Amino acid sequence: MKLFGPKAQTISSPPAPGKIPRINGTTVFGVRPNSPLVFKIAATGEKPLEYKVLNLPQELAVDSKTGMISGKFSKEGIHILKIRVTNKSGKAEKELTIHVGQTLALTPPMGWNSWNAFGESVSQEKVKAVAQTMIDKGLVDHGWSYVNIDDGWQGARNAKGILEPNEKFPDMKGLSDWIHSQGLKFGIYSSPGPTTCLGLPGSWQYEEKDAATWAGWDIDYLKYDLCSYKWDIFDKAGDTSQTAWMKPFLSMRKPLDAIPRDIVYSICSYNTIPWAAKVGANLTRLLGDNRDEWMPISTSGSKIDKYWAHQRPGLWNDEDLLVVGSSGGWEGKARPNHLTPDEQYFHMSLWSLLATPLFISCDLAAADDFTISLLSNDEVIEVNQDPLGQPARLKINTPEYQVWVKELEDGTNAVGIFNLKNEHQNVTVKWSDLSINGGKVRDLWRQKNLGKFTTEFTTEVTPHGVTLIKISR
């Protein structure tokens, strides 16, 4: 196997999933009335697994071999499904709440995006190889579900104004069908401007046509990136009002609404905080492109802490793609990651605490075991997917370390103690300084109980590393 990224396991190496079934991924899911439900139960454990919904609503069907739930609800309402997964070693049960209503993305979307991996060289073959790896390496069993093509798929508009894919995507519908047949979801990218950031055709004045094309491909997700709309349209018009900013995103919202399928709407405009909800966005990008460098990774959290109150289930502050595994696709060629293993634990822990959408963006087909294990820790992912949807708050911020606290739905707290120094350091946190109660402490990366700590907790944190814990009564 080709190795990308660090070979060495750090002290935080997560344990491999056990033989007994464990149900993972989100516990709440939003779907609109009359939209097809696309949901695969994520579960680990020795294969073969058998999937069952004990109280299956009559509108739904479940495939006992794949865990794919399908069907359609005609009315709004809440359905609490009791899921059971069994194998020869045992069984697991968990509830999945389906909210049939108008809000999608009730927990941060999780999946893969092509940009950091392949940049403009993205192709159908590469996307399929990545999706196959998501299945083969078990990432789908931990809840990773979107397969999103970023910039680089577009060809030219034909005589009817329809934007066709370029020669690297000979059969977009075939690719989409295959992705869906695996229980995964399919995403696409465009810009409200005449061209995208790569200079390829954007959707300006073709919003309805493009939405119709994507409807034909059964897309589940659209990343809509400002790019040339700013310099070609917005700056020239000279109107800086909120209405003017919202306009291009509303122009796409309308045709998306007309598609009888749920499409997560991810917008990149960097100033969206006051109006993202008004254009029906599910994700809103706050910062520029992430790089596999210590500075952006270690500082982005403190830059966005002030926006915490704008985030809620269905509208997530987007801290951009995860830069774990191979990187640099934006330069045209994937290369090993520049972050150390500890910095990658730092990154994954912070993104999980912030409840930001999690998008892997490396060449997964070439990913090493370290990268796969980093993305397969269910207790860490559960912090990100917690249904309360609260982002962590920065409670202690010194030049040496930061402490972030995320309130979870069950009344417990996840706490991340991040080492900003180049050397090991012991950090002691007093629970009263974090305004939380002490109690039982569990190390989430190691999946190990550490004991009871009633007033304070001391941990040795590796250079640029993290201790990620959950505190319960």
Q: Which of residues 220-259 bind ligand GAL (CB under 6 A)?
A: 225, 227
- Three-state SS string over the chain comes to CCCCCCCCCCCCCCCCCCCCCEEECCCEEEECCCCCCCEECEEECCCCCEEEECCCCCCEEECCCCCEEEECCCCCEEEEEEEEEEECCEEEEEEEEEEECCCCCCCCCEEEECHHHHHHHCCHHHHHHHHHHHHHCCHHHHCCCEEECCCCCEEEECCCCCEEECCCCCCHHHHHHHHHHCCCEEEEEECCCCECCCCCECCCCCHHHHHHHHHHCCCCEEEEECCHHHHHHHHHHCCCCHHHHHHHHHHHHHHHHCCCCCCEEEEECCCCCCCCHHHCCCEEECCCCCCCCHHHHHHHHHHHHHHHHHCECCEEEECCCECCCCECHHHCCCECCCCCHHHHHHHHHHHHHCCCCEEECCCHHHCCHHHHHHCCCHHHHHHHCCCCCCCCEEEEECCCEEEEEEECCCCCEEEEEEECCCCCEEEEEEHHHHCCCCEEEEECCCCEEEEEECCEEEEEECCCCEEEEEEEC
Min separation Cβ 189 and ligand GAL, Å: 6
- Choose the stretch contacting ligand GAL; rule: CB under 6 A; options: 93-101, 155-163, 192-200, 416-424: 192-200
Residue 272 binds ligand GAL (CB under 6 A)? no
Q: Residues 141, 151, 342, 386: which binds ligand GAL (CB under 6 A)?
A: 151
- Whichever of 268 and 304 has its CB closer to ligand GAL, that residue is 268
Min separation Cβ 89 and ligand GAL, Å: 42
The residue behind tokens 């396991």 is: 9
Min separation Cβ 279 and ligand GAL, Å: 18
Residue 196 binds ligand GAL (CB under 6 A)? yes
Interaction mask 96-135, ligand GAL, x per CB under 6 A = -------------------x--------------------
- Choose the stretch contacting ligand GAL; rule: CB under 6 A; options: 194-202, 205-213, 379-387, 401-409: 194-202
- Choose the stretch contacting ligand GAL; rule: CB under 6 A; options: 10-18, 191-199, 303-311, 440-448: 191-199
Min separation Cβ 456 and ligand GAL, Å: 41
Residue 305 binds ligand GAL (CB under 6 A)? no
β pairing state of 283-285 and 316-318: parallel
Min separation Cβ 205 and ligand GAL, Å: 20
- Whichever of 151 and 218 has its CB closer to ligand GAL, that residue is 151
| Cβ 169 vs Cβ 154: under 8 Å | no
- Choose the stretch contacting ligand GAL; rule: CB under 6 A; options: 31-39, 193-201, 413-421, 446-454: 193-201
Min separation Cβ 74 and ligand GAL, Å: 37
- Choose the stretch contacting ligand GAL; rule: CB under 6 A; options: 75-83, 159-167, 196-204, 373-381: 196-204
Residues that bind ligand GAL (rule: CB under 6 A) add up to a total of: 10
- Whichever of 147 and 197 has its CB closer to ligand GAL, that residue is 197
Angstrom distance (rounded) from CA 90 to CA 20? 5
Min separation Cβ 285 and ligand GAL, Å: 7
Min separation Cβ 388 and ligand GAL, Å: 28
Min separation Cβ 321 and ligand GAL, Å: 7
Angstrom distance (rounded) from CA 466 to CA 446? 12
Tell me which residue has its CB nearest to ligand GAL: 197
| Cβ 195 vs Cβ 151: under 8 Å | no
Catalytic residue among 289, 305, 369, 443: 289
Q: Is 289 among the residues known to form the active site?
A: yes
Catalytic residue among 151, 210, 218, 225: 225
Angstrom distance (rounded) from CA 355 to CA 387? 10
Sign of CA dihedral 425, 13, 5, 190: negative
Q: Is 262 among the residues known to form the active site?
A: no
Q: Residues 81, 197, 256, 374: which binds ligand GAL (CB under 6 A)?
A: 197
Q: What is the dihedral of CA 375, 381, 383, 387, to 10 degrees?
A: 150
Interaction mask 157-186, ligand GAL, x per CB under 6 A = ------------------------------
Q: Residues 150, 262, 319, 368: which binds ligand GAL (CB under 6 A)?
A: 150
Q: Which of residues 402-421 bind ligand GAL (CB under 6 A)?
A: none
Beta bridge partner(s), residue 53: 83
Residue 198 binds ligand GAL (CB under 6 A)? yes
Residue 323 binds ligand GAL (CB under 6 A)? no
Q: Which residues are identified as catalytic?
A: 225, 289
Contacting residues toward ligand GAL, per CB under 6 A: 115, 150-151, 196-198, 225, 227, 268, 289
